């Protein structure tokens, strides 16, 4: 009887785990190419230009910063010329404090949140809760620690369904628990530049200040639930304002990494309405 109970618990966990377990996904998706998106090379994976992704992130992060500025007396008292310029720009928020969801609704016209997935035994999923998502919109970010292909991730990867592999072998560990959580917080604290925080740790909590940072909970599509979003790699440009990097939910594992910070965004493949769950597909490189 104890053995049957243990087996039952294992099968229940596996049914949830497999929806994000990369080897299982690759093996099963190869049998059904409808769930795969083929690209000829890494530079061809982008459905929308990086500039459009940057514009969405900058617009949302500006609003979050202004809201934070308006709600913090110390920031008001110690405003820099940069913040004066930001505050002087006209925007619909009027500088009033607002939640991340309100900022997202104002900026991109929709909100997303984590809920129980409609897929049997899949655990948590991500849903559009308000508004309307147009085709080609940046819908979510995949948070986590960024590992280059040569960096160690063995311990962090054990029983971890949240390790995302990019086309060039870069890995992003989006697990918000255990050793993965400790590693991210440690790297984030290490990378401060003076008073500026260079990454967002709030995605490790139930209410991230950046409402886009829930992409690791988007489940893979199936025949019954076709993909409405896809992954797209995005390297943060050097020109990205230092004051806004506090909202980026990614950090490099190595401090001396010479490559730009890798992020992965989820882009909508079609129009998506409120109430729909997000389902992603995986790309495969064909030669």
pLDDT tens per residue across span 208-258: 999 999 999 999 998 889 999 999 999 999 999 999 999 999 999 998 777
What is the structure's pLDDT at 131? 96
Q: What's the pTM?
A: 0.79
Mean pLDDT lowest among 63-72, 115-124, 145-154, 247-256: 63-72
Q: Binning pLDDT at 50, 70 and 90, where does residue 184 land?
A: very high
Maximum mean pLDDT: which of 76-85, 146-155, 254-263: 146-155
Domains, the chain, with CATH or none: 2-80+96-286 (2.170.270.10)
What is the structure's pLDDT at 194? 81
DSSP the chain: -HHHHHHHHHHHHHHHHTTT-HHHHHHHHTT-GGGEEEESSGGG--SS-HHHHHHHHHHHHHHHHHHHHHT-HHHHHT--HHHHHHHHS--TTTT----HHHHHHHHHSEEEEEEE-SSTT--EEEEEEEEEEPTT-EEEEE-EEEE-TTS--HHHHTT-TTEEE-TTS-EEE---SHHHHHHHHHHHHHT-BTTB--S--GGGSSS-SSTTTTGGGPEEP-SSS--SEEEEEEEPPTTS-GGGGGG--EEESSTT--SPPEEEEEEESS-EETTPBPEEEEEEE--
């Amino acid at each position: 009887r104890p053995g049957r109970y243990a087996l039952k618990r294992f099968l229940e966990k596996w049914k949830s785990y497999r929806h994000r377990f990369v080897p299982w996904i690759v093996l099963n998706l190869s049998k059904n190419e409808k769930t795969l998106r083929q690209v000829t090379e890494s530079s061809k994976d982008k459905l929308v230009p990086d500039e459009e992704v940057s514009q969405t992130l900058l617009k949302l992060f500006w609003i979050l910063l202004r809201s934070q500025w308006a709600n913090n007396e110390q920031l008001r008292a110690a405003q820099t010329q940069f913040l004066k310029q930001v505050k002087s720009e006209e925007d619909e928020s009027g500088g009033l404090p607002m939640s991340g969801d309100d900022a997202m609704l104002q900026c991109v016209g929709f909100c997303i949140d984590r809920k129980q997935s409609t897929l049997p035994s899949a655990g948590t999923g991500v849903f559009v809760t308000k508004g309307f998502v147009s085709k080609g919109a940046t819908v979510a970010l995949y948070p986590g620690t960024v590992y280059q292909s040569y960096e160690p991730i063995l311990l962090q990867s054990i029983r971890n369904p949240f390790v995302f592999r990019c086309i060039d072998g870069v890995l992003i560990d989006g697990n918000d628990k255990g050793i993965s959580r400790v590693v991210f917080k440690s790297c984030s604290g290490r990378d401060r530049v003076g008073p500026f925080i260079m990454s967002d740790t709030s995605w490790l909590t139930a209410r991230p200040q950046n409402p886009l940072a829930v992409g690791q909970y988007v489940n893979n599509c199936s025949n019954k639930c076709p993909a409405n979003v896809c992954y797209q790699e995005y390297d943060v440009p050097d020109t990205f304002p230092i004051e806004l990097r506090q909202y980026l939910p990614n950090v490099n594992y190595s401090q001396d990494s010479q490559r730009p910070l890798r992020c992965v965004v989820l882009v909508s493949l079609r129009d998506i309405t409120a109430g729909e769950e997000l389902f992603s597909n995986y790309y495969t490189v064909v030669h």
